[in-house]
Protein backbone atom coordinates (compact mmCIF):
# COMPACT_ATOMS: atom_id res chain seq x y z
CA UNK A 1 0.00 0.00 0.00
CA UNK A 2 1.47 3.33 -1.07
CA UNK A 3 1.65 6.18 1.44
CA UNK A 4 -0.47 9.32 1.19
CA UNK A 5 2.33 11.42 -0.28
CA UNK A 6 2.04 14.38 2.09
CA UNK A 7 5.12 13.65 4.21
CA UNK A 8 8.37 15.57 3.67
CA UNK A 9 11.44 13.51 4.54
CA UNK A 10 14.62 15.16 5.73
CA UNK A 11 17.32 13.70 3.50
CA UNK A 12 19.63 12.42 6.20
CA UNK A 13 19.83 9.14 8.09
CA UNK A 14 21.49 8.63 11.46
CA UNK A 15 23.35 5.39 12.21
CA UNK A 16 24.96 4.11 15.39
CA UNK A 17 28.52 5.09 16.23
CA UNK A 18 30.48 2.01 17.30
CA UNK A 19 33.13 4.18 18.92
CA UNK A 20 30.72 5.42 21.59
CA UNK A 21 31.46 3.10 24.48
CA UNK A 22 30.49 2.84 28.11
CA UNK A 23 33.05 1.80 30.68
CA UNK A 24 31.49 -0.97 32.75
CA UNK A 25 32.50 -3.17 35.66
CA UNK A 26 33.86 -6.48 34.36
CA UNK A 27 32.48 -9.03 36.79
CA UNK A 28 34.00 -12.51 36.59
CA UNK A 29 31.44 -13.79 39.11
CA UNK A 30 34.23 -15.82 40.68
CA UNK A 31 35.92 -14.30 43.72
CA UNK A 32 38.67 -16.90 43.89
CA UNK A 33 39.65 -16.25 40.30
CA UNK A 34 39.55 -12.49 40.95
CA UNK A 35 41.96 -12.93 43.87
CA UNK A 36 44.39 -14.79 41.62
CA UNK A 37 44.29 -12.01 39.02
CA UNK A 38 44.99 -9.39 41.67
CA UNK A 39 47.85 -11.47 43.07
CA UNK A 40 49.47 -11.62 39.64
CA UNK A 41 49.17 -7.86 39.23
CA UNK A 42 50.64 -6.88 42.60
CA UNK A 43 53.50 -9.38 42.21
CA UNK A 44 54.94 -7.18 39.46
CA UNK A 45 57.72 -4.72 40.17
CA UNK A 46 56.93 -1.02 40.55
CA UNK A 47 58.42 -0.40 37.12
CA UNK A 48 56.27 -3.06 35.49
CA UNK A 49 53.16 -1.71 37.22
CA UNK A 50 53.89 1.79 35.93
CA UNK A 51 54.62 0.65 32.37
CA UNK A 52 51.52 -1.55 32.13
CA UNK A 53 49.30 1.19 33.52
CA UNK A 54 50.68 3.68 30.99
CA UNK A 55 49.90 1.20 28.20
CA UNK A 56 46.29 1.03 29.39
CA UNK A 57 45.99 4.81 29.62
CA UNK A 58 47.50 5.30 26.16
CA UNK A 59 45.06 2.83 24.60
CA UNK A 60 41.84 3.77 26.38
CA UNK A 61 41.97 7.13 28.13
CA UNK A 62 40.99 9.11 25.01
CA UNK A 63 37.79 7.03 24.67
CA UNK A 64 36.39 8.02 28.08
CA UNK A 65 35.88 11.07 30.21
CA UNK A 66 37.33 10.78 33.73
CA UNK A 67 38.93 7.47 32.83
CA UNK A 68 41.10 7.17 35.93
CA UNK A 69 38.02 7.82 38.10
CA UNK A 70 36.32 4.90 36.33
CA UNK A 71 39.29 2.61 37.02
CA UNK A 72 39.44 3.72 40.65
CA UNK A 73 35.71 3.10 41.12
CA UNK A 74 35.99 -0.42 39.70
CA UNK A 75 39.02 -1.11 41.90
CA UNK A 76 36.99 -0.05 44.93
CA UNK A 77 34.14 -2.28 43.84
CA UNK A 78 36.23 -5.42 43.54
CA UNK A 79 38.33 -4.55 46.60
CA UNK A 80 35.27 -4.26 48.82
CA UNK A 81 33.92 -7.57 47.59
CA UNK A 82 37.00 -9.70 48.10
CA UNK A 83 38.40 -7.67 51.01
CA UNK A 84 41.77 -6.44 49.79
CA UNK A 85 43.53 -5.44 53.00
CA UNK A 86 47.13 -4.89 51.90
CA UNK A 87 48.37 -1.36 51.32
CA UNK A 88 48.62 -0.62 47.61
CA UNK A 89 49.98 2.27 45.61
CA UNK A 90 47.68 4.45 43.51
CA UNK A 91 49.14 2.93 40.34
CA UNK A 92 48.48 -0.59 41.59
CA UNK A 93 44.86 0.31 42.35
CA UNK A 94 44.32 1.84 38.91
CA UNK A 95 45.93 -1.12 37.15
CA UNK A 96 43.80 -3.57 39.15
CA UNK A 97 40.75 -1.49 38.22
CA UNK A 98 41.61 -1.81 34.53
CA UNK A 99 41.43 -5.62 34.78
CA UNK A 100 37.91 -5.33 36.16
CA UNK A 101 36.72 -2.83 33.55
CA UNK A 102 35.33 -3.46 30.08
CA UNK A 103 33.97 -1.38 27.24
CA UNK A 104 30.44 -1.80 25.91
CA UNK A 105 29.61 -0.34 22.50
CA UNK A 106 26.05 0.82 23.06
CA UNK A 107 25.17 1.48 19.40
CA UNK A 108 27.13 -1.27 17.65
CA UNK A 109 23.98 -3.07 16.44
CA UNK A 110 21.40 -0.30 16.11
CA UNK A 111 20.30 3.24 16.91
CA UNK A 112 16.56 3.42 16.45
CA UNK A 113 12.97 3.90 17.72
CA UNK A 114 13.16 7.63 18.55
CA UNK A 115 10.72 9.66 20.61
CA UNK A 116 10.69 13.46 20.49
CA UNK A 117 9.45 16.05 22.99
CA UNK A 118 9.85 19.71 23.81
CA UNK A 119 13.15 20.40 25.58
CA UNK A 120 12.83 21.71 29.17
CA UNK A 121 15.28 24.53 28.32
CA UNK A 122 14.15 26.80 25.46
CA UNK A 123 16.70 29.55 26.12
CA UNK A 124 18.65 28.81 22.93
CA UNK A 125 15.68 28.96 20.56
CA UNK A 126 15.24 31.93 18.21
CA UNK A 127 11.85 33.28 17.15
CA UNK A 128 9.86 30.58 15.35
CA UNK A 129 12.19 27.82 16.58
CA UNK A 130 11.80 25.25 19.33
CA UNK A 131 14.38 23.13 21.11
CA UNK A 132 13.67 19.39 21.30
CA UNK A 133 14.95 16.45 23.31
CA UNK A 134 14.85 12.96 21.89
CA UNK A 135 15.14 9.52 23.45
CA UNK A 136 16.67 6.72 21.40
CA UNK A 137 16.92 2.97 21.75
CA UNK A 138 20.50 1.80 21.34
CA UNK A 139 21.42 -1.86 20.93
CA UNK A 140 24.82 -3.47 21.36
CA UNK A 141 26.47 -6.81 22.14
CA UNK A 142 24.01 -9.52 23.16
CA UNK A 143 21.15 -7.45 21.73
CA UNK A 144 20.90 -5.54 25.01
CA UNK A 145 19.05 -2.25 24.59
CA UNK A 146 19.74 0.91 26.55
CA UNK A 147 18.39 4.45 26.51
CA UNK A 148 20.30 7.36 24.98
CA UNK A 149 19.42 10.99 24.30
CA UNK A 150 20.05 13.70 21.75
CA UNK A 151 18.75 17.22 21.22
CA UNK A 152 18.55 19.96 18.64
CA UNK A 153 16.35 22.64 17.11
CA UNK A 154 13.27 22.57 14.88
CA UNK A 155 13.25 25.66 12.69
CA UNK A 156 10.18 27.62 11.59
CA UNK A 157 9.70 25.36 8.52
CA UNK A 158 9.82 22.13 10.51
CA UNK A 159 13.36 21.21 9.49
CA UNK A 160 15.58 19.52 12.05
CA UNK A 161 18.95 20.98 13.06
CA UNK A 162 20.53 18.36 15.35
CA UNK A 163 23.10 19.35 17.94
CA UNK A 164 26.49 17.69 17.65
CA UNK A 165 26.58 14.32 19.43
CA UNK A 166 29.38 13.86 21.93
CA UNK A 167 31.85 11.04 21.16
CA UNK A 168 31.63 10.02 24.83
CA UNK A 169 29.05 8.03 26.75
CA UNK A 170 28.49 8.45 30.47
CA UNK A 171 26.96 6.24 33.14
CA UNK A 172 24.77 7.74 35.87
CA UNK A 173 25.32 7.08 39.55
CA UNK A 174 22.82 4.57 40.89
CA UNK A 175 21.57 6.35 44.01
CA UNK A 176 18.78 3.91 44.89
CA UNK A 177 17.55 0.51 43.77
CA UNK A 178 14.70 -1.41 45.36
CA UNK A 179 12.12 -3.89 44.04
CA UNK A 180 13.27 -3.40 40.42
CA UNK A 181 12.86 0.38 40.71
CA UNK A 182 15.79 2.76 40.59
CA UNK A 183 16.95 6.33 40.95
CA UNK A 184 19.76 7.47 38.68
CA UNK A 185 21.80 10.67 38.80
CA UNK A 186 24.04 12.08 36.06
CA UNK A 187 26.80 14.50 36.95
CA UNK A 188 26.24 18.21 36.36
CA UNK A 189 28.04 19.29 33.21
CA UNK A 190 27.45 15.99 31.43
CA UNK A 191 26.19 16.74 27.92
CA UNK A 192 22.72 15.39 27.21
CA UNK A 193 24.00 13.25 24.33
CA UNK A 194 26.53 11.64 26.70
CA UNK A 195 23.88 10.38 29.12
CA UNK A 196 23.09 6.68 28.72
CA UNK A 197 20.75 4.66 30.91
CA UNK A 198 21.90 1.05 30.76
CA UNK A 199 19.76 -1.68 32.39
CA UNK A 200 20.40 -1.85 36.14
CA UNK A 201 17.45 -3.85 37.50
CA UNK A 202 16.88 -7.58 37.07
CA UNK A 203 13.61 -7.17 35.18
CA UNK A 204 15.31 -5.11 32.45
CA UNK A 205 18.73 -6.78 32.32
CA UNK A 206 18.26 -7.64 28.64
CA UNK A 207 16.82 -4.32 27.60
CA UNK A 208 15.18 -0.97 28.15
CA UNK A 209 13.04 -0.89 25.03
CA UNK A 210 11.03 1.71 23.10
CA UNK A 211 10.66 4.63 25.49
CA UNK A 212 7.68 6.82 24.63
CA UNK A 213 8.62 10.25 25.93
CA UNK A 214 5.95 12.82 26.82
CA UNK A 215 5.96 16.17 28.69
CA UNK A 216 3.07 15.72 31.12
CA UNK A 217 1.45 18.89 32.49
CA UNK A 218 -0.07 18.54 35.96
CA UNK A 219 -3.11 20.48 37.14
CA UNK A 220 -0.79 22.97 38.87
CA UNK A 221 1.03 23.68 35.61
CA UNK A 222 4.15 21.73 36.55
CA UNK A 223 5.68 19.70 33.72
CA UNK A 224 7.19 16.25 34.29
CA UNK A 225 8.74 14.27 31.45
CA UNK A 226 7.52 10.69 31.56
CA UNK A 227 8.66 7.80 29.41
CA UNK A 228 6.73 4.53 29.33
CA UNK A 229 8.90 1.61 28.25
CA UNK A 230 9.22 -2.15 28.05
CA UNK A 231 11.59 -3.87 30.47
CA UNK A 232 12.92 -7.19 29.16
CA UNK A 233 14.80 -9.74 31.26
CA UNK A 234 15.52 -12.18 28.43
CA UNK A 235 12.29 -14.14 28.85
CA UNK A 236 9.58 -11.85 30.18
CA UNK A 237 8.46 -8.28 29.58
CA UNK A 238 7.18 -5.74 32.09
CA UNK A 239 5.63 -2.30 31.60
CA UNK A 240 7.55 0.47 33.37
CA UNK A 241 7.79 4.25 33.40
CA UNK A 242 10.61 6.69 34.00
CA UNK A 243 10.27 10.29 35.06
CA UNK A 244 12.50 13.34 35.10
CA UNK A 245 12.25 17.10 35.23
CA UNK A 246 15.81 17.99 34.27
CA UNK A 247 17.18 14.93 32.39
CA UNK A 248 19.87 14.65 35.07
CA UNK A 249 17.90 12.77 37.72
CA UNK A 250 15.72 9.86 36.59
CA UNK A 251 13.33 7.63 38.54
CA UNK A 252 12.09 4.31 37.12
CA UNK A 253 8.85 2.76 38.37
CA UNK A 254 6.89 -0.41 37.65
CA UNK A 255 3.32 -0.22 36.33
CA UNK A 256 0.86 -2.48 38.12
CA UNK A 257 -2.67 -3.79 37.59
CA UNK A 258 -4.43 -6.24 35.28
CA UNK A 259 -4.15 -3.86 32.30
CA UNK A 260 -0.45 -3.04 32.77
CA UNK A 261 0.70 -5.66 30.32
CA UNK A 262 2.11 -6.20 26.83
CA UNK A 263 4.21 -3.61 25.01
CA UNK A 264 3.69 -0.10 23.76
CA UNK A 265 1.93 1.87 26.47
CA UNK A 266 1.71 5.61 25.72
CA UNK A 267 0.58 8.22 28.24
CA UNK A 268 -1.59 11.20 27.30
CA UNK A 269 0.15 14.53 28.05
CA UNK A 270 -2.45 15.62 30.61
CA UNK A 271 -5.32 14.23 32.65
CA UNK A 272 -8.73 13.93 31.05
CA UNK A 273 -11.73 14.59 33.32
CA UNK A 274 -9.42 14.19 36.31
CA UNK A 275 -7.97 10.82 35.27
CA UNK A 276 -4.73 9.70 33.70
CA UNK A 277 -5.21 8.23 30.22
CA UNK A 278 -3.07 5.72 28.37
CA UNK A 279 -3.02 4.03 24.97
CA UNK A 280 -2.05 0.36 25.22
CA UNK A 281 -1.90 -2.93 23.34
CA UNK A 282 -3.27 -5.65 25.58
CA UNK A 283 -3.19 -8.56 23.17
CA UNK A 284 -0.43 -7.74 20.68
CA UNK A 285 -3.03 -7.11 17.99
CA UNK A 286 -5.44 -4.28 18.79
CA UNK A 287 -5.25 -0.74 20.19
CA UNK A 288 -6.79 -0.11 23.61
CA UNK A 289 -7.37 2.93 25.81
CA UNK A 290 -7.20 3.00 29.61
CA UNK A 291 -8.04 5.46 32.40
CA UNK A 292 -6.82 5.50 35.97
CA UNK A 293 -6.71 7.68 39.07
CA UNK A 294 -3.25 6.27 39.83
CA UNK A 295 -0.40 6.76 37.38
CA UNK A 296 1.23 3.49 38.44
CA UNK A 297 -1.89 1.28 38.55
CA UNK A 298 -4.05 0.30 35.57
CA UNK A 299 -6.91 -2.17 35.96
CA UNK A 300 -9.18 -1.86 32.91
CA UNK A 301 -8.62 -1.46 29.19
CA UNK A 302 -11.21 -0.70 26.52
CA UNK A 303 -10.89 -1.69 22.87
CA UNK A 304 -10.24 1.38 20.73
CA UNK A 305 -9.45 -0.10 17.31
CA UNK A 306 -8.80 -3.44 15.64
CA UNK A 307 -7.27 -4.24 12.22
CA UNK A 308 -9.59 -3.28 9.38
CA UNK A 309 -7.47 -2.71 6.27
CA UNK A 310 -5.09 -5.01 4.40
CA UNK A 311 -1.97 -3.15 5.51
CA UNK A 312 -2.86 -3.68 9.19
CA UNK A 313 -4.31 -7.19 9.26
CA UNK A 314 -1.54 -8.59 11.47
CA UNK A 315 -1.28 -5.97 14.18
CA UNK A 316 -1.94 -2.42 15.33
CA UNK A 317 -0.10 -0.36 17.92
CA UNK A 318 0.68 3.23 18.81
CA UNK A 319 3.66 5.30 17.73
CA UNK A 320 3.85 7.42 20.86
CA UNK A 321 1.68 9.57 23.07
CA UNK A 322 -1.38 11.27 21.55
CA UNK A 323 -0.88 14.90 20.50
CA UNK A 324 -3.57 17.45 21.26
CA UNK A 325 -4.83 19.60 18.37
CA UNK A 326 -7.86 21.84 17.93
CA UNK A 327 -9.53 19.08 15.91
CA UNK A 328 -8.87 16.28 18.40
CA UNK A 329 -6.18 13.98 19.73
CA UNK A 330 -3.79 12.95 16.96
CA UNK A 331 -2.66 9.38 17.55
CA UNK A 332 0.14 8.05 15.37
CA UNK A 333 0.00 4.30 14.92
CA UNK A 334 2.03 1.47 13.50
CA UNK A 335 0.44 -1.25 11.43
CA UNK A 336 1.76 -4.59 10.20
CA UNK A 337 0.60 -6.22 6.98
CA UNK A 338 1.77 -8.72 4.37
CA UNK A 339 5.46 -9.73 4.47
CA UNK A 340 5.61 -8.26 8.01
CA UNK A 341 5.81 -4.79 6.57
CA UNK A 342 5.45 -2.02 9.14
CA UNK A 343 3.91 1.34 8.20
CA UNK A 344 3.02 4.45 10.19
CA UNK A 345 -0.54 5.75 10.06
CA UNK A 346 -2.76 7.92 12.26
CA UNK A 347 -6.15 8.23 13.96
CA UNK A 348 -8.02 11.25 15.22
CA UNK A 349 -9.65 10.85 18.64
CA UNK A 350 -12.40 13.00 20.09
CA UNK A 351 -10.86 15.74 22.21
CA UNK A 352 -13.33 15.38 25.10
CA UNK A 353 -13.83 11.64 24.79
CA UNK A 354 -10.64 10.05 23.37
CA UNK A 355 -12.23 6.61 23.60
CA UNK A 356 -14.07 7.64 20.42
CA UNK A 357 -12.33 7.60 17.03
CA UNK A 358 -13.53 10.42 14.77
CA UNK A 359 -11.10 9.95 11.89
CA UNK A 360 -8.92 7.36 10.15
CA UNK A 361 -6.47 7.59 7.26
CA UNK A 362 -7.35 5.66 4.10
CA UNK A 363 -3.67 4.95 3.42
CA UNK A 364 -0.47 4.86 5.46
CA UNK A 365 1.23 8.12 6.34
CA UNK A 366 4.77 6.67 6.04
CA UNK A 367 5.70 3.44 4.28
CA UNK A 368 9.32 2.21 4.00
CA UNK A 369 10.89 3.33 0.73
CA UNK A 370 13.87 1.70 -1.00
CA UNK A 371 16.42 3.58 1.11
CA UNK A 372 14.64 2.61 4.35
CA UNK A 373 13.60 -1.01 3.89
CA UNK A 374 16.96 -2.80 4.37
CA UNK A 375 18.41 -3.40 7.81
CA UNK A 376 18.42 -5.64 10.88
CA UNK A 377 14.65 -6.11 10.53
CA UNK A 378 13.66 -5.31 6.92
CA UNK A 379 10.61 -3.34 5.76
CA UNK A 380 9.96 -1.45 8.99
CA UNK A 381 9.28 2.20 9.78
CA UNK A 382 8.51 2.92 13.42
CA UNK A 383 8.30 5.88 15.79
CA UNK A 384 7.93 6.15 19.55
CA UNK A 385 6.71 9.72 19.55
CA UNK A 386 6.27 12.81 17.36
CA UNK A 387 6.14 16.50 18.29
CA UNK A 388 3.84 19.33 17.29
CA UNK A 389 5.55 22.59 16.27
CA UNK A 390 3.19 25.32 15.13
CA UNK A 391 1.15 23.86 12.27
CA UNK A 392 3.70 21.13 11.59
CA UNK A 393 3.97 17.63 12.99
CA UNK A 394 7.61 16.50 13.21
CA UNK A 395 7.99 12.72 13.15
CA UNK A 396 11.30 11.05 13.98
CA UNK A 397 11.18 7.45 12.82
CA UNK A 398 13.32 4.33 12.73
CA UNK A 399 14.25 2.49 9.56
CA UNK A 400 14.34 -1.31 9.67
CA UNK A 401 15.55 -1.42 13.29
CA UNK A 402 18.93 -0.03 12.24
CA UNK A 403 18.94 3.75 11.87
CA UNK A 404 16.57 6.70 12.14
CA UNK A 405 15.59 9.87 10.31
CA UNK A 406 13.08 12.72 10.40
CA UNK A 407 10.00 13.76 8.48
CA UNK A 408 7.37 16.45 8.88
CA UNK A 409 3.84 17.08 7.68
CA UNK A 410 1.45 20.01 7.76
CA UNK A 411 -1.23 19.29 10.35
CA UNK A 412 -3.99 21.11 8.39
CA UNK A 413 -3.05 19.08 5.31
CA UNK A 414 -3.12 15.87 7.35
CA UNK A 415 -6.55 16.68 8.77
CA UNK A 416 -8.01 16.84 5.26
CA UNK A 417 -7.22 13.15 4.73
CA UNK A 418 -9.08 11.76 7.74
CA UNK A 419 -12.26 9.90 6.86
Separate counts of helices (H) and strands (E) for the chain: 5, 27
Strand partners, 173: 185
243 φ, ψ (degrees, to nearest 5) = -140, 150
Please name the residue ranges forming H helices in 194-285: none
Q: Which residues contact 258 (CB under 8 A, 6 or more apart)?
A: 298, 299, 300
Q: What CA–CA distance (Å, rounded) separates 2 from 363?
A: 7
Q: Structural domains in the chain? A: 8-19+106-415 (2.115.10.20), 21-104 (no CATH)
Per-residue model confidence (pLDDT) at position 180: 94
Could you tell me the CA-to-CA distances from 228 to 135, 280, 408 in Å, in that order? 11, 11, 24
User: What is the CA 299 to chain-centroid distance, rounded?
Assistant: 26
Cα-only R_g, the chain: 23
3-state DSSP call for residue 219?
coil
Alpha helices, DSSP H, located in 156-222? none
The pLDDT score that the predictor gives to residue 64 is 96
- Distance, in Å, from the CA atom of 228 to the CA atom of 253, rounded to the nearest integer, reads 9
CB-neighbour burial class of residue 184 (10 A; exposed 0-12, middle 13-18, buried 19+): buried
pLDDT tens across the length of the chain (419 residues): 789 999 999 988 999 999 999 999 999 999 999 999 999 999 999 999 999 999 999 999 999 999 999 999 999 999 998 888 789 999 999 999 999 999 999 999 999 999 999 999 999 899 999 999 999 999 999 999 999 999 999 998 888 999 999 999 999 999 999 999 999 999 999 999 999 999 999 999 999 999 999 999 999 999 999 999 999 999 999 999 999 999 999 999 999 999 999 999 999 999 999 999 999 999 999 999 999 999 999 999 999 999 999 999 999 999 999 999 999 999 999 999 999 999 999 999 999 999 999 999 999 999 999 999 999 999 999 999 999 999 999 999 999 999 999 999 999 999 999 99
Q: What per-residue confidence (pLDDT) applies to 256?
A: 97
Cα(57)–Cα(67) distance, rounded to whole angstroms? Answer: 8
Residues paired with 210 in a beta bridge? none
Dist. CA 318–CA 169, nearest whole Å: 30
Residue 16: closest CA among 405, 403, 406: 403
- Separation between Cα atoms, residue 347 and residue 326, nearest integer Å: 14
- Helix or strand or coil: residue 320? coil
d(CA 232, CA 147): 13
State the number of CA atoms in the 13 A half-sphere of 232 facing the CB. Answer: 19
Amino acid sequence: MQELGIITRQQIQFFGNRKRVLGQFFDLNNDERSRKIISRIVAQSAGEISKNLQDVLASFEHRHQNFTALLKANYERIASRIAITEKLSEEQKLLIGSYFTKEYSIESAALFNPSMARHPDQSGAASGEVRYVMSLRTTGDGHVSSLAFSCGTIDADGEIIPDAVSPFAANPVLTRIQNDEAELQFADGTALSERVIFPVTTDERNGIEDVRLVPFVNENGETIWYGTYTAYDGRHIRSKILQTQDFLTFHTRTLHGDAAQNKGMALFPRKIDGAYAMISRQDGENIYIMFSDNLLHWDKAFLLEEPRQAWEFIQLGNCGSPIETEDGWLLLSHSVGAMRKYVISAYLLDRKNPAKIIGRLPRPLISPNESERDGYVPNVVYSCGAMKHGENLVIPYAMSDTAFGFSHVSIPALMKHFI
